[in-house]
């Protein structure tokens, strides 16, 4: 589990805060890596599965906000806000998972 904790710390440090095309790509890559770690931890035992379940929901919310931040229907300010919310939510999720470990 220490290995995962180190990986999560590295991912948390990579999360961008400002909306840009490059940062949207980066946060999506981070989300994929985070999901892979979540799946590995979930597979350890039933207790781990119960603890990680809410974090999957949170990750889906992050992805939805990131996707919305790229919509042409939203103004720049709304895109920035959505991306900021997504990155903050992702940081919170990573921190929560590190505390579970």
Q: What is the pLDDT of residues 51-96, one digit of tens each?
A: 999 999 999 999 999 999 999 999 999 999 999 999 999 999 999 9
User: Using CA atoms in the order 38, 97, 88, 22, what is the torsion angle rounded to 10 degrees?
Assistant: -40
Residues of the domain holding 49? 2-100
pTM of the prediction?
0.92
Number of structural domains (the chain) is 1
Q: How far apart are CA 46 and CA 20, in angstroms?
A: 39
User: Token pair 């985070």 is at which residue?
Assistant: 34
Q: What is the pLDDT of residue 81?
A: 96
Q: pLDDT tens digit string along 1-45?
A: 788 899 999 999 999 999 999 999 999 999 999 999 999 999 988
């Amino acid at each position: 589990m220490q290995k995962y904790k180190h990986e999560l710390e590295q991912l948390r440090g990579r999360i961008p805060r400002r909306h840009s095309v490059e940062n949207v790509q980066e946060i999506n890559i981070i989300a994929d890596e985070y999901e892979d770690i979540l799946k590995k931890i979930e597979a350890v035992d039933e207790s781990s599965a119960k603890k990680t379940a809410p974090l999957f929901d949170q990750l889906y919310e992050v992805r939805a906000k990131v996707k919305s931040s790229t919509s042409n229907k939203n103004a720049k300010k709304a895109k920035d806000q959505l991306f900021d919310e997504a990155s903050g939510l992702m940081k919170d999720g990573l921190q929560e998972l590190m505390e579970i470990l």
